[in-house]
Structure 1
């Protein structure tokens, strides 16, 4: 049970960092306001009513509750998987990161605001060799929850390819 609680704590830390960072941005930025941090990175306040890369953002509003329900179903499945694999290392870390990201984006943001708060803006086309990318030079704005979900998925893939059973049986 201790390990399971530890993995849940990781998810809670992701939610906490995600929501704290969003509240800080919401308190200091107007919508679409951008502040350069480096040559390749800005802080900006944008909202996303859709999914990743603003997919379905132009829809009339059904996507809000669809993504809340979808995230709930995925989190329920991941919690079950987290319990089953709690004695391992990579898979439960991955599950915890995805759960934390889903709760931050798809529960809290969508229920509280009806949309996701994004604020990290990376652009990579400062080099002449990258001009061929055209409008793809700017990565869509994202947030800490998005980063946790992506890192979690990468860890899931690594664990699957490695056959992660690093701690043996799923017992505390």
Structure 2
């Protein structure tokens, strides 16, 4: 039974450690806005920080930042409980591992928003900024002029800058959505019809 708990929690711990190593390196070796290109203009490390949710989204200033951090902590407690429940009740291993990915991503970003402000001396507890660095602007262009609201405006895919924790959350959620029928399938007992009982008699 211990082995069932070991693999998902070790996987989560490995992702959290890798995420923090990357973030620490970027913070220590790059200046804000610096880029290190490894796939030309379509893939690079781009150092940025954000106060809000995944992929740089913002929410409600300082009060929103505090509320978001506290919400993340509560959410992680819920995810841990869910992961233990899934393991204990022997749910599909794929589901368990994907929930472990979501847990790892959530914890990875919580570490930033909870402690980075104090560690790097720019904000109080729970007000740290999340470090992002992966940037893949694969396609650039202009929206057609006939398109409402966005006609003639430039577009870029993929615009958000993200980190390993964000990736873990996205992979976990997407895999659960794709394989939900497999993960949550259950056997439906066959119902005997009245005619079948008459035949048996």
Instruction: Identify the TM-score tier after normalising by the shorter chain.
Output: 0.7 to 0.9
Greater relative CO (CA pairs within 8 A, separation 6+): 1
* Partner residue in 2 for 1:73: 74
Question: Which whole-Å CA distance do the structure 2 matches of 1:90 and 1:97 have between them?
Answer: 11
Which of 45, 48, 52 is the equivalent residue of 2:47? 45
Aligned length: 161
Give the whole-Å Cα distance in 1 for the aligned partners of 2:183 and 2:58.
35
Q: Deviations over 1:127-147 (max 9, x none)?
A: xxx543723334210000000
SS at match of 2:103: helix
Give a deviation string over 1:103-144, Cα, whole Å, max 9, x none: 111x21001221100000110225xxx543723334210000
Q: 2:174 aligns with which of 154, 158, 161?
A: 154
The runs of at least 4 aligned residues of structure 1 exceeding 4 Å deviation read none
**Which ranges of structure 1 fall in alignment gaps of 5 or more residues?**
166-172
Question: Please, which runs of 5 or more residues in structure 2 have no aligned partner?
Answer: 117-127, 144-152, 186-201
CA separation in 2, counterparts of 1:155 and 1:69?
27
Q: Which TM-score applies when normalising by structure 2?
A: 0.72
Relative to 1, partners in 2 of residues 1:83 and 1:138: Cα closer, same or farther, differing over 3 Å?
Answer: closer
Give 1 or 2: higher helix fraction: 1
SS in structure 2 of the partner of residue 46 of structure 1: strand
Contact 2:113–2:129 (8 Å) recurs in 1 = yes
The structure having more radius of gyration, on CA atoms, is: 2
Question: Residues 125 and 131 of structure 1 are in contact (CA less than 8 Å); yes or no, is this contact kept in structure 2?
Answer: no
Calculate the TM-score normalised by the size of structure 1. 0.83
